[in-house]
Structure 1
Amino acid sequence: MLFLTRRRKVQREGIDYEQIDKEWDWDHFLILQAFVGATVFFLFPSLLHGLPLWDLRGLMVAMVVHVGVSEPLFYWAHRLFHKGYLFEHYHSLHHSSKVLQCFTAGFATPLEHLGMCGVMAAPILGATLMGFGSLGLVYGYILFFDFMRCMGHCNVEVFSSRLFESLPFLRYIVYTPSYHSLHHMEQDSNFCLFMPLFDALWGTLNNKSWQLQKDVSSGKNDQVPDFVFLAHVVDVSFSAHSPFLFRSYSSMPYTFKLILLPLWPCIFIVMLVMWAWSKTFLVSFYKIRGLLHQTWVVPRYGFQYFLPFAKDGINDQIELAILRADKMGIKVLSLAALNKNEALNGGGTLFVNKHPNLKVRVVHGNTLTAAVILNEIPANVKEVFMTGATSKLGRAIALYLCRKKIRVMMLTLSTERFLKIQREAAPEHQEYLVQVTKYQAAQNCKTWIVGKWLTPREQRWAPPGTHFHQFVVPPILSFRRDCTYGRLAAMRLPKDVQGLSVCEYTLDRGVVHACHAGGVVHSLEGWTHHEVGAIDVDRIDVVWRAALKNGLKPV
């Protein structure tokens, strides 16, 4: 959640696909623990026989054994794994993760996890052998142990420095995410399991520990992004594509998985809660040439944008994100998909007019979207058929093509809207814009530009060999086997992008929607104008050349 974590990140870098792929099987230690536990209790069934649900004496014994045995045992084993052969062949794998996350806590070799099982088992076995064991202790201690490991690796400082200033002895009782991060940044210090006391006793306490914790928890380690892409959730199942739910799943292009079916009711309830009380959350952050780019998500689902009573609430959320970005000092904020819907806010015009003194530049990115679609059209095409022809994108594409003396059949029932667009064209080009009211008019045209959803029945009017270019969300169904279907307008980010770990909807790794790429170009070029409302046709080629110059490539 952005409002909780934005200023408390320990390491500011984003993880990348390489780290996710390397840590893909981070959860194997759970299988190992289950196997070890099952083996122990199979060999010694009396350990579990007759155990009560809870015994407070067992908790006391486990605490003593943890402090007296588990903590020092882990400390010295950990230091041993930082020596020569053991580090090179085993522990270096754990330290190869560039950015800590909860997942990295379980990323280690089987030998290390076997040792960890021994450290975990000592308090449970100690209490059980003394006759004070309980089922609550078995499950509770293991959950506590894994929680503490994940907390130390979460990369978000969860403790306030005021707590340690008021109660200084707590610094030696519980470690913090910033404390453990120093171990990964400067490997020869802060070896403790959960208690810095043992680092202090044996002289391996990093002298930066308390100051770093204070700086991070107070927000001094904050870094303001240069560019923000403000996205939204498409549908209920797609919300499971968020990296904080399934990191590996979100790093691959979105496809519906059967595993999501049991989760669907839970996700639906979360959707209702977020609809009632919602905050913008962070999906990813990456860098291009030193500029920090982030993707924020407004917790609104695609269908909600078409509910008349939801319009004001959605605009309030978008406006809040824009004002927050302005206050933070962000330079460019780009609106995704339905966040810039013409009927919703006039392609962002509503916010610019309402707040004329905005320092953040609001961008809809549709200029580059139009450029991508136009550059996909073969040079030998003389005629196109277009649905959604009077929309913001449809208008710009039609005006651009008529300048190239390409005949554009614009499907629209509104003669008034058609004539308004036609009058924008130069007199010598107006004849190339033609109004049509039925799909039958395109039965001999093999180039369709789709800006309004097509049913399978409507697609039947396209002749065999037709290619469907698209700027409609969601994309149309690939119904015709004798035709080809383009994907939504997108561009591949430059090769020097760092920290990108999320796939944007159904797009491949490193590929973003053209409106996202449009905001990236706006940021990299340092342009100071708002890009809202109607598309400036004269800037289509300017933006396209700027995108190519900055290393973005068409897909």
Structure 2
Amino acid sequence: MAAPLSSWPWGNLGAYKYLLYGPLVTEALHSWVNGTSNDRCLHLLILCGLRGLVYHFRTSFSNMLFLTRTRRVITDGVDFKQIDREWDWDNFLILQALIGAIAFCFVPSLRGLPFWDFRGCIVALLLHVGVSEPLFYWVHRCYHTGYLFTNYHSLHHSSKVLRPFTAGFGTLLEHLMLGVVMGAPLRGAFLMGSGSISLMYGYILVFDSLRCMGYSNVEVFSHGLFEALPFLRYLIYTPTYHSLHHIEKNSNFCLFMPIYDVFGRTLNSKSWQLQKEISSGKSKQVPDFVFLAHVIDVISSMHAPFVSQSCGSEPFVTKLFMLPLWPLAFLVMLLMWAWSKTFLFTFYNLRGRLHQTWVVPRYGFQYFLPSAKSGINNQIELAILRADKMGVKVLSLAALNKNEALNGGGTLFVSKHPNLKVRVVHGNTLTAAVILNEIPKDVKEVFLTGATSKLGRAIALYLCRKKIRVMMLTLSTERFLKIQKEASPECQHYLVQVTKCQAAQSCKTWIVGKWLSPREQHWASSGTHFHQFVVPPIIGFRRDCTYWKLAAMRLPQDVQGLGTCEYTMERGVVHACHAGGVVHCLEGWSHHEVGAIAVDRIDVVWRAAMKHGLTPV
């Protein structure tokens, strides 16, 4: 049986919990329509909205790894388990809104309050320092004793990596006590007749901002500030200071002022030295592997974890709330285009090696603009040179970043910089392996579109070696004959050129490497299965056929710190070209994988992927 007040009354309501705001909304609308002076509920709703934004904005900042990478206190990433565990982090906002509504029942109206009263600020500050800080310190230490920690506070400490949402993650009893701590200065100021609107908003929002700052996992204070003004160390805590409490648990109990830890003899001796090391911003952690991705479109750009980590932790789908944000995302796209710097998107650890995703600030449609070709290649080249300088071992190119017409599948960069230490990989060898291993063993004939592309060529040559007839859709006889001559003489007759989809009416295995319109899909017979490697993937118009997603692989179970879904992929699943780079890194291969796919290496790469625990989806 759960301990009393350890769970939330609305814990099983899911998103319906927000209906609890209904009475406040109804009362606010009623007062506005009737022109009454009862504006208490309106202020409560505005405060809840602003407080939610404070937590979201601070979380977004914490997830901007391209800005915060060198100042992170705990370098691990937030994984899916922690994101799910903290999904209802905002329960305390509902609780405090309901408590505020009850408290305001004894206040006729807030319209009679002054907007500003300097005396109220002084009273609230004194009460915070003299009442709230020691009260929180004492209660917090009590929560670290046996029964209270086991039944209440251990849930809060179960989060390994701090983020602002972690500040709201706790039990009902904890937040009832926190409400008392936060409410004491406000209540005292109002009882003394020095309350004001600005005090109510200001104190609560500053309180939330300081909590978010402590949980941000990003050191924001310069150690030079504390060296110049040593007394500040005891008046304001730092993210490093608070992170030590979560790491070692029995020290640094204060709310915002470390001086109470000094009085209570619970100050962690490593607090200031560690803060100095982290605030210097000289992190030497270098990733072994980098996946160089790009944005697909404006809407999908909002799938980034620094926009919404909750949305980013699920496969991408266009949601209604995203549509009003489209103009803002479009503006960000223009700024990224102007800034033109590759930025760090996310990272995870696998087998003790740090893997990062960097993003080229270019959107999918820009890759098809002839005028953008040079600029895109310049950005990719700069990313490769940056990775080489840092000591990255493998850099894998995603989707359009390795387009044959753009840079020859990465050949351009390897040829231009022959002394690169970083290995440039397009990952398409594993992509081909995934597609080929999807095909049933008893298939005798396949229809292949995009047949003369890098992947199409490798798939065709591999299948003809297995004595499978391949109908290659291409209008270029010259390209077809060039590929056919690469096959051994006894296998060449398995490669057949076709120029129309009608030729595949009797074939039930289609491998799609070029976009197919609904009319072209119409020629497939009922029961046809569509494998594909075309970007973007084709739309499944045929209900009597089956459609496979883009080639992908599931990362091993021991991956750590992964909390972001790769576009529309499931959790823990990455595109095959991404997985190909991972395998290249784990195997320690010293060659570049650029240009044409080496057909002889398809089985080698597949076996290596299986050996390292990657599995097909």
TM-score between both structures, scaled by the size of structure 2? 0.87
Shift of 1:280: 3.0
Q: Which residue identity is paired with 1:140?
A: G
**Which of 523, 529, 534 is the matching residue for 1:467?**
529
Whether the 8 Å contact between 1:12 and 1:223 is mirrored in structure 2 is no
Shift of 1:253: 1.6
- Could you tell which deviates more after superposition, 431-440 or 272-281? 272-281
Q: Which residue identity is paired with 2:102?
A: T
3-state SS, counterpart of residue 488 of structure 1: coil
3-state SS, counterpart of residue 283 of structure 1: strand
- Whether 1:30 aligns to 2:93 is yes
Shift of 1:56: 3.3
Q: Which residue of 2 aligns with 1:62?
A: 124
- Whether 1:540 aligns to 2:540 is no
Whether the 8 Å contact between 2:251 and 2:266 is mirrored in structure 1 is yes
3-state SS, counterpart of residue 490 of structure 2: helix
Separation in 1, partners of 2:195, 2:389: 55
Separation in 2, partners of 1:139, 1:316: 48
Separation in 2, partners of 1:482, 1:228: 40
Shift of 1:201: 2.2
Q: Which residue identity is paired with 1:267?
A: A
- Whether 1:502 aligns to 2:564 is yes
Separation in 2, partners of 1:498, 1:189: 27
Q: Are residues 2 and 319 of structure 1, via their aligned partners in 2, closer, same or farther at CA, if it must alter by over 3 Å?
A: farther
Q: Which residue of 2 aligns with 1:5?
A: 68
Whether the 8 Å contact between 1:250 and 1:503 is mirrored in structure 2 is yes
Tell me the alpha carbon deviations over residues 420-455 of structure 1, each in whole angstroms, 9 at most, x when there is no partner.
Answer: 222222222222222211111111111110011111
Q: Which residue of 2 aligns with 1:44?
A: 107
Tell me the alpha carbon deviations over residues 320-367 of structure 1, each in whole angstroms, 9 at most, x when there is no partner.
Answer: 222221122111111111111111221111222222221111111000
- Could you tell which deviates more after superposition, 443-452 or 278-287? 278-287
3-state SS, counterpart of residue 491 of structure 2: helix
Whether the 8 Å contact between 2:66 and 2:345 is mirrored in structure 1 is no
Task: State the percentage of identical aligned residues.
Answer: 77
**Which of 311, 332, 337 is the matching residue for 1:270?**
332
**Which of 20, 40, 55 is the matching residue for 2:83?**
20
Shift of 1:406: 1.5
Separation in 2, partners of 1:540, 1:220: 41
3-state SS, counterpart of residue 293 of structure 1: strand
Shift of 1:4: 2.1
- Whether 1:168 aligns to 2:240 is no
Separation in 2, partners of 1:225, 1:105: 29
TM alignment of 1:122-521, pairs within 5 A: 122-219=184-281, 221-521=283-583
Whether the 8 Å contact between 1:51 and 1:133 is mirrored in structure 2 is yes
Separation in 1, partners of 2:258, 2:231: 10
Whether the 8 Å contact between 2:65 and 2:346 is mirrored in structure 1 is no
Shift of 1:416: 2.0
Separation in 2, partners of 1:127, 1:309: 63
Separation in 1, partners of 2:581, 2:542: 34
Whether the 8 Å contact between 1:368 and 1:514 is mirrored in structure 2 is yes
- Could you tell which deviates more after superposition, 399-408 or 422-431? 422-431
Q: Which residue identity is paired with 1:261?
A: L
Separation in 2, partners of 1:202, 1:411: 78
Separation in 1, partners of 2:66, 2:81: 28
Q: Which residue identity is paired with 1:452?
A: K
Shift of 1:385: 1.0
Q: How many corresponding residue pairs?
A: 554
Q: Which residue identity is paired with 1:447?
A: T
Separation in 1, partners of 2:492, 2:603: 21
Whether the 8 Å contact between 1:451 and 1:472 is mirrored in structure 2 is yes
Shift of 1:35: 1.6
Whether the 8 Å contact between 1:10 and 1:221 is mirrored in structure 2 is no
Unmatched 5+ residue regions in structure 2? 1-63
Whether the 8 Å contact between 2:252 and 2:268 is mirrored in structure 1 is yes
TM-score between both structures, scaled by the size of structure 1? 0.97
Whether the 8 Å contact between 2:511 and 2:532 is mirrored in structure 1 is yes
Shift of 1:219: 3.7
Separation in 2, partners of 1:36, 1:344: 60
Separation in 2, partners of 1:414, 1:140: 70
Shift of 1:278: 4.1
Whether the 8 Å contact between 1:3 and 1:279 is mirrored in structure 2 is no
- Could you tell which deviates more after superposition, 19-28 or 63-72? 63-72
Separation in 2, partners of 1:133, 1:414: 81
Whether the 8 Å contact between 1:153 and 1:177 is mirrored in structure 2 is yes
Shift of 1:279: 3.5
3-state SS, counterpart of residue 359 of structure 2: strand
Q: Which residue identity is paired with 2:381?
A: E
Separation in 1, partners of 2:115, 2:520: 65
Whether the 8 Å contact between 2:295 and 2:363 is mirrored in structure 1 is yes
Shift of 1:221: 4.8
Separation in 2, partners of 1:243, 1:529: 33
Q: Which residue identity is paired with 1:368?
A: L
Whether the 8 Å contact between 1:2 and 1:280 is mirrored in structure 2 is no
Shift of 1:265: 2.2
Q: Which residue of 1 aligns with 2:115?
A: 53
Q: Which residue identity is paired with 2:293?
A: A
Separation in 1, partners of 2:352, 2:236: 35
Tell me the alpha carbon deviations over residues 126-152 of structure 1, each in whole angstroms, 9 at most, x when there is no partner.
Answer: 333333322222112211111111111
Whether the 8 Å contact between 1:9 and 1:222 is mirrored in structure 2 is no
Separation in 1, partners of 2:361, 2:167: 29
- Could you tell which deviates more after superposition, 479-488 or 244-253? 244-253
Q: Are residues 226 and 443 of structure 1, via their aligned partners in 2, closer, same or farther at CA, if it must alter by over 3 Å?
A: same
Tell me the alpha carbon deviations over residues 12-65 of structure 1, each in whole angstroms, 9 at most, x when there is no partner.
Answer: 22222111111111111111122222221122235x241223333333332222
**Which segments of structure 1 move beyond 6 Å, counting only runs of 4 or more?**
none
Shift of 1:249: 1.8
Q: Which residue identity is paired with 1:114?
A: L
- Could you tell which deviates more after superposition, 425-434 or 371-380? 425-434
3-state SS, counterpart of residue 305 of structure 2: coil
3-state SS, counterpart of residue 408 of structure 1: strand
Shift of 1:515: 0.4
3-state SS, counterpart of residue 41 of structure 1: helix
Whether the 8 Å contact between 1:74 and 1:193 is mirrored in structure 2 is yes
3-state SS, counterpart of residue 428 of structure 1: coil
Separation in 2, partners of 1:63, 1:274: 42
Tell me the alpha carbon deviations over residues 526-551 of structure 1, each in whole angstroms, 9 at most, x when there is no partner.
Answer: 11111111111111111011111111
